[in-house]
Amino acid sequence: MQPQISFEFFPPRNVEGTFRLWDAVQVLAPLDPSFVSVTYGAGGTTRDLTRDVVATLHKHSGLRTAAHLTCVNATREETLAVAQEFAKAGVKDIVALRGDPPKGENSFTAHPDGFANSVELIEALADTGDFTIRVGAYPDKHPEAADMQADIDWLKRKLDAGATEALTQFFFEAETFLRFRDACAKAGIDKQIVPGILPIENWKGARNFATRCGTTIPSWVDDAFAKAERDGREDLLATAICTELCSDLIDEGVDKLHFYTLNRPELTRDVCFALGVTPKVKLEHVA
Ligand code: FAD
């Protein structure tokens, strides 16, 4: 079975980044993703950039485009005004998040006139009737959750508030996701939980990020990358590990995969190819 795929990008920070993003879109678009999404900088720092990138992608790439939106550092009116700008640009998919605090701050503090949490944001977006809403989920538990059950109960509240599906934080072993999916089903969640997949471009960076997110790092992955680095074959290992992870998930009935591309398309493309997801050439492009 071939999975449905989707890709996450981030807004570019400079001209070089803009070309890199567009290259990434050109490489991955032929794989016919069900949607692509664009992140919203920590602390709401890329508000205008995210808006411009989703509008441009939507208009020029022909891809269904989702905008991430967070509640950080903004009043309710400001946050909903950004959502309306997305809608005006034709972007009707939102990944609704509470968001991480701005750099230098350790915990989320709601703006006095802002949404207190993600559930409030999702309810307000759902009330508009304008959007398909997706939310974040955490197979290794969000660092702020009291325990896994509390995290899953909160996820249920987010989905019940008007979201259609959840996209997960990345994880390293299929078992982590499968256990989480079972626990969600047991808690009465009947909406789809889509695994977030990180093709590991750079082990040091991925490791640091995983540590910050509270994602369990299996020692075998650490050992494998140490050896691969010594032999100069990190790319081969990254492709093999990611392909095996996706393949194990597909064997267990997972039919959607959401790739964190980090705007670098090659590994994601190679993994998709290995899974049998190949470019779809539109008939009008055949001479
Ligand atoms: P929530 O799920 O609302 O809260 C996080 C956890 O805290 C919950 O799992 C829950 O256990 C607990 N919690 C929070 N409030 C309550 C409450 N009132 N009662 C009980 N428990 C509570 N960050 C960005 O800045 N920009 C992005 O574009 C972005 N994109 C992301 C995309 C995905 C798919 C994912 C998984 C994460 C993304 N993040 C992004 C990171 C995200 O903002 C952080 O993980 C943030 O700390 C939590 O946001 P959330 O909406 O998942 O929070």
CB 118 within 8 A of CB 59: no
Strands 165-168 and 35-38, bridge-based pairing = unpaired
CA-closest residue to ligand 1 atom 19: 154
Mutate to test the pocket of ligand 1, among 123, 154, 165 (most ligand atoms within 8 A of CB): 154
What does the pLDDT average to over 70-75? 93
Q: What is the pLDDT of residue 106?
A: 76
> pLDDT value at position 271?
98
Q: Is 150 in the pocket of ligand 1 (CB under 6 A)?
A: yes
State if residue 95 touches ligand 1 by the CB under 6 angstroms criterion: yes
Arithmetic mean of pLDDT, 258-285: 90
Q: Which atom in ligand 1 lies closest to the alpha carbon of residue 40?
A: 28
Which atom of ligand 1 is the closest one to the Cα of 72? 25
pLDDT of residue 146: 96
Q: Report whether residue 138 contacts ligand 1, using a CB cutoff of 6 Å.
A: yes
Q: What is the pLDDT of residue 45?
A: 73
253: which 2 tokens? 């009935």
For the segment 21-42, the average pLDDT, to the nearest whole number, is 95
Is there a catalytic annotation at residue 8? yes
When mean pLDDT is compared across 123-127, 130-134, 283-287, the lowest value belongs to 283-287
Q: Which amino acid is at 173?
A: E
Query: Which position among 8, 78, 229, 284 bears the catalytic label?
Result: 8
CB of residue 6 inside a 6 A radius of ligand 1: no
Residues 244 and 220: beta-carbon distance below 8 Å: no
Question: Could you tell me the pTM of the whole model?
Answer: 0.96
Q: How far is the CA of 268 from the centre of ligand 1 (A)?
A: 25
Contact 37, 7 (CB under 8 A): yes
pLDDT tens digits, one per residue of 191-232:
999 999 999 999 999 999 999 999 999 999 999 999 999 999
Q: Is 140 in the pocket of ligand 1 (CB under 6 A)?
A: no
| Cβ 181 under 6 angstroms from ligand 1 | no
What percent of the chain is predicted at pLDDT more than 90? 87
Type of residue found at 242:
C
Q: Which two tokens stand for residue 137?
A: 């989920």
Segments of the chain assigned E as strands: 4-9, 35-38, 65-70, 93-97, 132-137, 165-168, 192-194, 196-197, 256-260
24-28, 68-72, 105-109, 261-265: segment of lowest average pLDDT = 105-109
> Could you tell me the distance, in angstroms and rounded to a whole number, from the CA of residue 194 to the centre of ligand 1?
16
Cα(41) to centroid of ligand 1, in Å? Answer: 13
| pLDDT tens, position by position, 87-101 | 999 999 999 999 987
Q: Which atom of ligand 1 sits closest to the CA of residue 43?
A: 25
Give the nearest ligand 1 atom to 146 CA: 11
Pairing of strands 65-70, 93-97: parallel
Cα dihedral across residues 19, 205, 181, 173: positive or negative: positive
Ligand 1 center from residue 99 Cα (angstroms)? 6
The answer on pLDDT for 286 being more than 70 is: no
Helix (H, G, I), strand (E, B) or coil at 81: helix
Residue range 158-200, pLDDT digits in tens: 999 999 999 999 999 999 999 999 999 999 999 999 999 999 9
